[in-house]
Amino acid sequence: MSRPPTREYLYKILVVGDLGTGKTSIIRRYVHNIFSTNYKSTIGVDFALKVIQWSPEIIVRLQLWDIAGQERFGNMTRVYYKEALGAFVVYDVTRPQTFEGVTKWKQDLDSKVALPEPWGGGRIPVVLLANKSDLLQEGHGQPINQLEMDDFCRQNGFASWFDTSAKDNSNIDEAARYLIQTIVSLE
Ligand code: GTP
Ligand code: MG
């Protein structure tokens, strides 16, 4: 009996959002399953790779581009965004001003990156992450209004949103699976 041939996909995924929202922490949790309370701001861009056996026939290599929050004010994002197939935009649920950054990051993505031609050249799928949700449980910040978030995503062209915690390791796998599924279904 012959097995079906294995297909391998390489997906470049951007992780953007304002300073200190937890982009690096989410990636370190997702890729290495570690968390630290030490804050060392990313300079420029960092990379991480996660290899996923998506299905018996499909291997997905996720190349995660961890872009410094500071870069929203720089002029390198166009270079970093090149050939990306998806993105996460991260905000910090305890700091409302980082939610204002979400729309700015989304506009930056929409104006600078598109799907490659075989996939029609439309917008790349973007998932919104409401991070540090563990702190909400401790009474910091305003609770998330689910309907308002659904509405915000529809109006601003986000594929979906998840409340995540890099500290508690909650919902990060789910959010990644959702984004990968969206990209795989474009194939
Ligand atoms: P820049 O690289 O400066 O853009 O920041 P960043 O978005 O990469 O943030 P980073 O992951 O470095 O996290 C900033 C701070 O928030 C660190 O002190 C983390 O420990 C903390 N942090 C990140 N995620 C969480 C979380 O889910 N819960 C809590 N309680 N703290 C978090
Ligand atoms: Mg960082």
pLDDT digits (tens, 9 = 90+) for 56-74: 999 999 999 999 999 988 8
131 lines ligand 1 (CB under 6 A): yes
> Phi-psi region for residue 72, left (φ > 0), alpha (ψ -120 to 50) or beta?
alpha
Q: How far apart are CA 163 and CA 32, in angstroms?
A: 20
CA 8 to centroid of ligand 1, rounded, Å: 32
CA 7 to centroid of ligand 2, rounded, Å: 32
- Looking at the chain, the whole-number percentage of residues with pLDDT higher than 70 is 99
Q: How far apart are CA 99 and CA 19, in angstroms?
A: 11
- Report whether pLDDT(109) > 90: yes
- Report whether pLDDT(159) > 70: yes
Which residue would you say has higher pLDDT here, 139 or 183?
A: 183
167 lines ligand 1 (CB under 6 A): yes
95 lines ligand 1 (CB under 6 A): no
37 lines ligand 1 (CB under 6 A): yes
Instruction: Give the pLDDT confidence score for residue 68 in this predicted structure.
Output: 98
CA distances from 35 to 23, 139, 175, 177 (A): 12, 21, 18, 20
Beta bridge partners of 130: 91, 163
Instruction: Give the pLDDT confidence score for residue 111 in this predicted structure.
Output: 96
CA distances from 55 to 32, 87, 175, 176 (A): 21, 22, 17, 15
Across the range 136-162, mean pLDDT stands at: 95
Interface pTM, i.e. ipTM: 0.99
Instruction: Give the pLDDT confidence score for residue 160 in this predicted structure.
Output: 98
- Report whether pLDDT(2) > 80: no
Q: How far apart are the first and last CA of the chain?
A: 27
List of residues 6+ apart from 134 with CB closer than 8 A: 165, 167, 168, 170
Instruction: Give the pLDDT confidence score for residue 187 in this predicted structure.
Output: 86
- Report whether pLDDT(119) > 90: no
Q: HSE, CB side, 13 Å, CA atoms: give it for residue 164.
A: 29
